[in-house]
Amino acid sequence: MKDLNSMSKNPINAAGRAANNFSFFIWDIVSLFFQVLHWLFIGPFKGKAAKRDGIFEQMVFVGVRSIIIVSFISLFIGIVLAMQSAYQLEQMGAVIFVTGLVAVSVTRELGPVMTALVVAGRVGAAITAQLGSMKVTEQIESLETMALNPVRFLVVPRFLALLIMLPALTVIADLSGIFGGFIIGTLNLNIDPHLYLDLTKEFLEWKDIYTGLLKSAVFGVIICIIGCYNGLNTKGGAEGVGKATTESVVTSFVLIILADAILTAIFYFAKV
Amino acid sequence: MEIKIESKDDISICRVSGEITFSTSPDLRKRLIELTDKHIKKIVIDMKNLTYIDSSGMATVVEILQKIKAIDGELKLANVPDKIKDILEMVRLKDIFDIQESEEAALASF
Amino acid sequence: MFKKAKVDSEPVIEVRNLVKNFGGRRVLNGVNLKIYKGEVMVIMGGSGCGKSTLLRHIIGILKPDSGQVLIEGKDINSLKARELDKIRLKIGMLFQSGGLLDYMTIKENIALPLTEHTNLDKNVIDIIVNLKLSMVNMRGMGHLLPSEISGGMKKRAGLARAIAHDPSYVFYDEPTAGLDPVVAGVIDKMILDFSKKLSVTSVVVTHEMQSVFRIASRIAMLHMGEIVEVGTPRQIKASKSKLVQQFITGSPDGPISFSQLGDDYLTELTKK
């Protein structure tokens, strides 16, 4: 080991090792994802489905308890967006387009992303902290000795909960974001409420909504897999749990934005 | 595990042989519950050829004892091998049951 | 009261040349050990000598760098997941801190191996759980959460769960450490009872010398990742090995060095 330590002082070797660790990380993440898929789609046919009561509890935790914060944040995003765009559009005398601008940017982009970031901070961190403390107190090992697969038992319920609840939360975020725009549009810009809603309907297309929801499903997968991966690989007691939690939130944020860019590019070039 | 149930007057004698384990105890439970459902108040479980009983077996017998007491009946264990007695004692169940030396003694004790 | 268990001639667990490194430090250095049916094998040794690591290899939670672990003649590291699960259903393990799942009550914890792996009726499972609770002297505490009970109780509840499914092999990681002498005695007696009355094979990792001589059919002394001596308690007591003698008597002077200073003590102290 002495050799390895001295090696890490050499910058080229250190870079090599970092790259190596990174590829291990990617491999682990992908393999965890496939394990989840295995337990989701192949497990049930072997009579080993995920626990249903666990899924319900997780759905409540992920979804119901996030409603208030998610709708609060997107309400204000909608308000801010309306004011900022009105400031620009007023100069061209096109204030009426605030309606479409708010609706489309909230459903396509800001609703899914803001919701995902909020949930990553709230739920992703909690998942890592829960699984991490289970890991450092021998609970994960005890599941394994009882022939209970930790992925099936702990990851799959959280995966399903996030996959279902994050898009559901996104719908709520979309609605309250549009409502935020509606408040500014009607009270400040003096657009007739009926006209505002009609224009919103006019500008908004189905594909705006479902591409947004598709994004949020992908974000849900990212939050779950990163959160669980960091939790299950926690080392070193309570301090380790804290470190893993921070790591989990930061990694999720980066990957969410990255995935957002990639998906947006795909939708843009495919003209969806 | 094999179960043979025989009725003498108002008494049912249940002869269990072999091993009662997690996989076989649900069967024993089903047969015994059939008896209590028929409101048979006197049951003897003969354990003469029983070689092993695990926790699920003991739990099943405890459940039946409780069911039968609820209808004012009696459950007796007969011919309990020493090994099984040891196991019962380990989980402090020996005193809960009315354990009789033989089937005849059990029949006479009602 | 503490009558010893009889030993069969068939080895049911065999450890062959087990080697394990952790971050460049060799923790297990070619361990060989045979464990026979129905015996209580005590593995003793100082803190950090690799006892717990050895135990984790035997139950297949850790994978060795080289060497084999055979349970009933099967190499557990080359088994398929499903076959390994089959063996694990015969195994119960008491973890140092109990290893209870913190989001379930004590009752749910003990019932877990039964609800997951058997088709028993809920009533029967409830009775089994109560039986096991009374065996570890914790009647009426099943509704509590692990966070609501003391460390010693967690250990006892962990023991109740380890034996919930009547395993043929029970592994104990420091079963009596940190317990009061009476409870320690009760647990020692239980370990012996399992092996005598139910022919359960037990492997106990401990350094409580009183327990060791009370329960052991055979003792293996582990030092610096190697088995230095295996024998019956009488053989171990009469051992000529200074190492073993020092460990039994707990003397500070001997081959297990604390007081002796190496030649490089000065360099060690001034090392940066």
Residue range C137-147, pLDDT digits in tens: 888 899 999 99
Touching C: which chains, 3+ CB pairs < 8 A?
A, B
Identify the bridge partners of residue B5 per DSSP, sorted by sequence position.
B14
Q: Classify residue A21: in a domain, yes or no.
A: no
Sorting pLDDT into bands at 50, 70 and 90, what band is C246? confident
Q: Classify residue A1: in a domain, yes or no.
A: no
> How many separate domains does chain A show?
1
The partner residue sitting opposite C97, judged by closest CB among A137, A143, A145, is A137
CB-based contact (8 Å) between A270 and chain C? Answer: no
Which residues does chain B have with pLDDT short of 70? none
In A26-100, where do the E strands start and end? none
Q: Classify residue A29: in a domain, yes or no.
A: no
pLDDT of residue A243: 94
Q: Classify residue A106: in a domain, yes or no.
A: yes
> Is A236 in a helix, a strand, or coil?
coil
CB-based contact (8 Å) between A4 and chain C? Answer: yes
Q: Classify residue A19: in a domain, yes or no.
A: no
Using an 8 Å CB-CB cutoff, list chain C residues near A147.
84-86, 88-89, 116-117
CB-based contact (8 Å) between C59 and chain A? Answer: yes
> Is B2 in a helix, a strand, or coil?
strand
**Nearest CA distance, A3 vs chain C (angstrom):** 10
CB-based contact (8 Å) between C118 and chain B? Answer: yes
The partner residue sitting opposite C99, judged by closest CB among A4, A138, A147, is A138
User: Which ipTM value was assigned to this complex?
Assistant: 0.91
Q: Report d(CA A76, CA A98) in Å as an integer.
A: 15
Q: Classify residue A44: in a domain, yes or no.
A: no
User: Are A137 and C25 a contacting pair at CB < 8 A?
Assistant: no
CB-CB contact of C207 with C28 (8 Å): no
User: Are C95 and A141 a contacting pair at CB < 8 A?
Assistant: yes
Structure tokens at C1: 């009261």
Sketch out chain B's domains with CATH numbers: 2-108 (3.30.750.24)
CB-CB contact of C221 with C45 (8 Å): yes
Using an 8 Å CB-CB cutoff, list chain C residues near B60.
124
Return phi, psi of residue A191, to 5°: -85, 140
Mean residue pLDDT of chain C comes to 88
CB-based contact (8 Å) between C122 and chain A? Answer: no
User: Are B54 and C166 a contacting pair at CB < 8 A?
Assistant: yes
- Give me the domain span that covers residue A166: 53-269
What's the whole-number mean pLDDT along residues C191-204?
Answer: 89
The partner residue sitting opposite B91, judged by closest CB among C120, C131, C164, is C131
CB-based contact (8 Å) between C55 and chain B? Answer: no
- b/e burial code for range A161-196 (CB count within 10 A of at least 16 → b): bbbbbbbbbbbbbbbbbbbbbbebbbeebebeeeeb
User: Are A145 and C61 a contacting pair at CB < 8 A?
Assistant: yes
Q: Classify residue A38: in a domain, yes or no.
A: no
Q: Is the pLDDT of residue C1 over 60?
A: no
Quick check: do C and A touch, 3+ CB pairs under 8 A? yes
Using an 8 Å CB-CB cutoff, list chain A residues near C60.
144
Q: Classify residue A121: in a domain, yes or no.
A: yes
Pairing of strands C11-22, C25-36: antiparallel
Quick check: do B and A touch, 3+ CB pairs under 8 A? no
The partner residue sitting opposite C131, judged by closest CB among B22, B23, B59, is B59
pLDDT of residue A2: 41
- Per-10-residue mean pLDDT, chain A, length 272: 49 79 88 92 71 80 90 95 91 87 93 95 95 93 91 92 95 95 90 90 90 95 96 91 95 96 94 76
> Is B12 in a helix, a strand, or coil?
strand
